[in-house]
Every structure is written in structure tokens, then in C-alpha cells.
Structure 1
Amino acid sequence: MDSENLKKKTAVSLIWNIINKAGYQVIAFLVAIITTRILTPEDFGYIAALAIFSIVSGVLIESGFSIALVRRENNTRADYSAAFYFNVLLSIILYLILFFCAPLIADFFNMPPLVNLARVIFLALVINSFVIVPNVILTKQLKFKQIAIADLGGMIISSVITIVLAIKGFGYWAIAAQQVSQVFFKMIIIWCCSKWWPSWKSNFALIKELFAFSFAIIISSLLNYLSKYVYNFVIGRTYSTADLGYYGQANKYYQIPVNVIINSVVGVAYPVFSSLNNDKERQ
């Protein structure tokens, strides 16, 4: 790709990524305003109690492979397939562990509804594992318009479902439905956009190579998210479900402007710089 074409594609990608990140947060904020007028603080507290389990499991399932695959040159279909099967298999294993641990989680927080709620919400982990590799492929191709369509499409559809269920009196199940349906519809859209399908022939030797690069990323991500969500753990254990709900909602939005800008720029810059670095190495 020549420099002028790359500059143009980078600029377009950045615009679409900003639209994606900002649009996503605007929709989430509007839905929060609507649902907080309908649902109770306890409803949000149940969801916040499960956040740390979802986040940590998500980091383990992704395993830093997204960054590693974007950085890696000349990925084949067999390479992508190996990463895909690994992500899906690990997500199923972790889901089963969390499924059977749901009663223990509910007992720890003294929140009985968490048993069934956790088993539904954690389904999003399995569904999202199907998104990781197609998202990497679109990222390497700088097709951020398609990624934005998938992200915002899934968010809009799931938001409508959430608001309808909240109005109908489904309580915390309305929020659970949003989390699961959002990744489900995103999965459908992103698979249609990427036009990729895994092959039975997979290069599983690649997994060791990816881990050699991504291990530090996994540890860093885990420490980062644990530091952010450990308060959910403490508040949920020590205080009331309503208190956790208030904290969870307030903590969710205070860094939105900064995160939108940083994530938008970094999301585009990394695949661009990886591409430039690979070009230099070939020269």
C-alpha cells in the first residue's frame, strides 16, 4: 500500500473508529438514563456484582491474541482458525466453571438471584469468543466502518430489547438481555462483514508463539481490570446491593470522554504501525 493511500485509509479508519466509540457510549448513556428511571438500584447491583467475573474471564479467553495477530505478518487461514478454535474452546471451559460456581458467587455476595442471572449473563463470554478473530481480520484490513456497523448495530438492537423488557417489568433480566443480545447481534453482523470462515486445517503450533508475545499483555490487562473492579467486589460483599448498584452506575461513565479519544486513536494506530513495521522489515 503506497503512503498516500495509507494516509487516506488511516484517516477514514480513525473517523469511523471515533464514530463507533463515541456512538456506542452515547447510546449506552441514553439507555442508562432511561433504565435508571424504570429499574431499581438493586437491579444494577446484581449486574455490577458479576462484572469482575465477566471482565477477567473475557481477558483470559481473548488471551492477548487480538494484538498478537494484528502485529503478526502473513497470517494464514489456518493461523486464524487455530486462534478461533482456542478462543471458543477456552470460553466454553470457563463458562462451565462459572456455571457450576454460580451458587458460590451468589452465596459470597448474599444475592440469591445471582445463581440464574450469572448463568445467563456469562453466555455472552461464549458468544463473544466467536467475534475475536473476525474482528482481528477486519482490523488488519483497516475496515473500521464494518466494525462500527457491527458494534453500533448490536448496541442499538440490544438497547431496544432492554428498554422494552424494562418497561414490561423484567427488572435485572432486562440488563442481562442487553449484554447477551448485544454480543449476539454483533457476532452475526461482524461475521457477515468479514466473510471469513474457519477451516478444519489449523496451525495449532501458532498458539505457543502467540502466547510468547501475549503473556505480558494478559498479566497487564488482568492487573488493570482487577484494580478497577475490585471495588465492586468489596462493596458487593460489605454493603447493600443498592449501594453496589449506585457505585457501578457512577463508576461506569466518569472517564468516557478520555477513553473514547484514546481508544479510537490507539485502535487505528496499532494496525497501521504494525503494517509499516512489516513493510520496513521486508525491505
Structure 2
Amino acid sequence: MPEMPEVQGLVDFLAARATGLEITKATMASFSALKTYDPPIDALKGTTVTAARRHGKFVDLETDAGTHLVFHLAKAGWLRWYEQLPATVIRPGKTPIALRVGFDDGSGFDLTEAGTKKSLAVYVVRDPAEVPGVARLGPDPLDDTFTLEVFAGLLAGRRTQIKGVLRDQSIIAGVGNAYSDEILHAAKMSPYALAANLDDADVARLYDAMRTTLTDAVTQASGKPPADLKDAKRRGMAVHGRRGEACPVCGDEVRSVFFADNSLEYCPTCQTGGKLVADRRLSRLLK
């Protein structure tokens, strides 16, 4: 799933490449992906892109008509950019393409989604706050106002595992499964530690790890075209997606815990005192 650094990379790319261009095409190929009806998708045609912004994991293209094209790529979605948009007709239900947007200089992009579970979401709104997922977002962890004190306040009293807290978009916006693994590894903290049990030193260490990990990842994503962002993300991971490999810090084997259709990765030596994390249903450490 694209998370804050990759989404910020997409936003930076779109801000540089699409700002000032007129939208000449906005075609849905997956009608289930369009979550709004007023304004209609056709209202984007003839408008000019004035800005690109990020709200958590949402991309927001603003136009001079006051309409916003907002989209969330979900787990398996991506943006494919073309300097020359293909002239082929997209057939609903026969393609991984959910939305095609074209500009007056011939360029454009497709929003695509792999797999059978379709979660990619597209919204055309007059205000990004009309998108439910945007309206309930917590603070952005790289915002200047997101201080250690703010972070500590968000954790205080939460009898919730810290892995879940980091992933909860209503608490902190933009962090998902991959970067929560990376942040916890950098902080040398178990994913099953309870937020309410962290002392001041733990909170400060986790805060620094989050800010550093995300800042470095955003820097790595900056300036890269969409086609290169996924590989850049994978190369930058220390533990996520690296089950069975050696931890780059201590050399121990990176382990996984599987749950639903996802997994978390961690280093026992760095994060759990050498203990292996138990089955997900137990949510406790093996004795």
C-alpha cells in the first residue's frame, strides 16, 4: 500500500508536472471506484489544475473551478503517468484501470488497481473535507505543529498496541503497515507494546524514530517519477518485507507475524529482547 512518503512523491510529481494544465479527459473505467456524484466526474473537464496536495494517504488535485479530484490508492492501487496518453479505449470491467485523466498537452495518467479486491477510491468534491476519510484524519506526523508533546498526548491512556496506534489514520495520518514496522524497528520497540505503558523516554525515542524514518523516506521519494517510487520504497526497508533476511543493525533473522491478508516484520534482538512474538490471536510474547 502506498503510504505517506510514496504519496508525497506522487504529489510532488503531479505538482511539478500537472499544475497549469487543462483537464481534457476524465473517464471512469471502474464505476465502483467513484464514491461521489455531485459534482459529476465530467465537471473536471475544461478545468485547470492549480495545485496538488496530500492529506494523509489521499492525493488532492485542485482546479481553478474550485473542484478537487481526490483519490486514495488503497492496498493495490497506483498511478501510471504518460507523457503521451494512450489513445486506446478503456473498457469498464476489462482492465485494471479505474480512472483515466488526460491533459491539454497530451500527457495524463491512469489510476490502476491490481487483484480482485477493489478498494481504490475516487472523489470529486468542492472541499477535500467532504471526503469522509480526509475529514477524520489525525495530525500529520511531519507537520511543524506535531511536537513531542502532541504525540505524547495522543498516546496517553491508550490501552492499544503501539503498532495499531501508528496505523490508525484517525490518530496519526499517513503511516501504514510498512512504515510502522520501520518506525518500531528504528525505535527498538515491540509492535505489541501498549501505548499507555510507554514511559517518557520510550515516547521520545518513538517520536524521534517516526520523524526521522518518515523524513528520510520522503527525501528518497522526492523527485522520482511514479514508476520508480515502489522500488525505492522496497530498497529503503530495513525489516518490512524482509522476512528471513538479516537485520541490518544486529544481524538477527527478521521474523514475521501473519494476520488477515497482511503481516508485520520485526527483529527479535532489536525489538523484543530476543523473544519471538506469539501468534496474532494471543498478542503476547512467547515465554
Give TM-score scaled by structure 1 length.
Answer: 0.26
Relative contact order, higher structure (CA 8 A, sep 6+)? 1
Bigger fraction of residues in strand:
2
Give TM-score scaled by structure 2 length.
Answer: 0.26
